[in-house]
Amino acid sequence: MSCSLLAAPVLRHLAWRRKEKQQLLSIHTSPLSDYTSPLVHSHYGGIDNCHRSLHNRDGNGHILSRADTPLNGFTLGETRSKVNSRPLSNGVHHQNGALKVTDLDEAPPMIRSSFVPAEKDAPQPTACLSVVGLTYTVKERPGHWWNGNFLRRAKPKQVLHNLCMTFNKGELTALVGSSGSGKTSLLDVIAGRAEGQVDGVVSYKHEQCTRTMMRQKASYVLQADRLLSTLTVRETLTYMALMKLPGNMTAKEIDKKVQTVIEDMGLRQVSDNRIGGTMIRGVSGGEKRRITIGVQLLKDPEILLLDEPTSGLDSFTARHLVSTLASLAHKGDKLVLLSIHQPRSEIFNMFDRIGILTTGQLAYLGPPSLMVPYFTDIGHPCPRNENPCDFYMDISSVDRRTAESERSTLRKAQSLCNAFSKSVLQESMIDKITSGLNYHYDDERDPSQPQQNQSPSLLRVFLCVLERMNLHLWRDRSNLVGRLLQLPFFVPFMIIFIGRLGFTMGSIQDRLGILYQGTQAPPYIGLTNAVATCEFI
């Protein structure tokens, strides 16, 4: 879809948000201290309060974020003054009850990218992946099947509600939230795997995302590891490379690509070890997860989506894995988006941005360093010595144990979502979406190089799967012996059965049945074995 066709629905959806936005950010011609950032003014006040706060400056000319309206009985400055005066992150400090940017070069990327030098008239950084007005609806039948729910009519259920968010290349973004908050559904919609009704616009570099496009640009890492236990790490990646990479790549190029993935994922020490399983000793659980991610990195995707990659891992292994993903995002200039359950404090600080989802809505999306000041401004300060992510996940979750607790927690979660929809963090993302409609992304592919085939030939894939199956079967001796023993038991049975056949009309039907079972049953037996052992990758 062209930029002009994509701009129309985006602008229509955001038209009601654009009132009085022309005067939200003032353009100044002073030095760096006069640059304004919409993220510095992150508070619960509306757009008018943000506009008034832009004129508050300190003695050095830095803009201070203050609001004149009371909040839960306190003004914004009084609320902020209750937080200890300490650096929020490099270059960002609390001073006199307000946020102050002291060093732009050391500030977090989200804040640094929001400063606009007026004298150069440079545009604001644009969003690489944009989600505008996203609503996802599925149909489900209430109750369980044993209660007769299959006889009831399926009712629509909204999983995601009017989401508006942006994601940038070179950043590691985490989606957190309780079970049922919509994390996996959002990843499915972005990846083009959603089966329900999707309303809204999901675009990547001005092009509306389709399933075909996301297959080329993105890779999706599932939560479960489905790997063949008898193959080594290098063999697993090599076979997957033969089935995924373009058919005109030589064996040297494939080996080089596999070695690069092994180095990036930190698998060099175990590259020649078997993966292992229930009966075979192999690599650890964290290394298996790295192999699963490495399989998806073979295509060198621009977008990497991961569904709870740290699930089932210990804290040390999870921290090591997230550190690897952060390195991939920063050095490889990839857009890495993952869902995660309650990250520990060390992992929490590794993310460039964190999004809190509750009941399919957004309660926060921004840098980890601004999470505590933002929620403090709206009346929810984080207690001392507590993980901010855990605390704010708890207050945004819905307790469904009783009807009364569900109503109260749902009301609180809805208030948090309403507060974020009016915040300057949300308005900043909208500015990036609208400004990006006029931004041109250069084609990263060298035009002098011929375009490679997107997929290998079917013959190559078939031969690769056949070779891998034979190697796996030969190494799995218990399975091989079991299959070989089937023949001595099967042949005598067939001889006894066929020897009793006569030459009547009824025996003709018996012979037809034998021919059918002899030709049709073996493929189903092999398929049943593959499904039972999850050996279909």
β-pairing verdict for 303-307 and 353-358: unpaired
State both tokens at 276. 């292992």
Neighbours of 253 (CB within 10 A): 13
Neighbours of 352 (CB within 10 A): 21
Dihedral (C-alpha) 263, 267, 268, 273: value to the nearest 10 degrees? Answer: -150
Consecutive 10-residue averages of pLDDT for the chain (537 residues): 52 52 38 35 36 38 37 35 43 48 49 40 57 88 66 82 90 91 91 88 86 89 88 94 89 93 91 86 89 92 92 88 91 88 86 92 91 91 88 88 88 91 85 66 49 73 91 85 77 75 79 79 68 53
> Could you identify the residue written with the tokens 């063999």?
235
What is the reported pLDDT for 536?
A: 46
Measured between alpha carbons, how far is 76 from 98 in angstroms, rounded to an integer?
8
Measured between alpha carbons, how far is 9 from 133 in angstroms, rounded to an integer?
10
Neighbours of 421 (CB within 10 A): 16
State both tokens at 523. 């493929």
What is the reported pLDDT for 456?
A: 86
What is the reported pLDDT for 112?
A: 45
The three-state secondary structure class of 442 is coil
Q: How far apart are the first and last CA of the chain?
A: 34
Dihedral (C-alpha) 376, 382, 384, 387: value to the nearest 10 degrees? Answer: -140
The three-state secondary structure class of 99 is strand
φ/ψ of residue 368, rounded to 5: -60, -30
- The residue among 39, 32, 454, 465 whose CA lies nearest residue 247 is 454
Q: Which residues contact 169 (CB under 8 A, 6 or more apart)?
A: 128, 302, 333, 334, 335
Query: For 362-457, where are the alpha helices, taking DSSP H only?
Result: 371-377, 388-396, 403-421, 424-436
Measured between alpha carbons, how far is 42 from 76 in angstroms, rounded to an integer?
11
What is the reported pLDDT for 175?
A: 94
> Could you identify the residue written with the tokens 């490099």?
90
What is the reported pLDDT for 226?
A: 87
What is the reported pLDDT for 52?
A: 33
Q: How far is CA 246 from the centre of its chain?
A: 26
Residues listed for the chain? 537
Write down the number of H helices and E strands in the chain: 18, 13
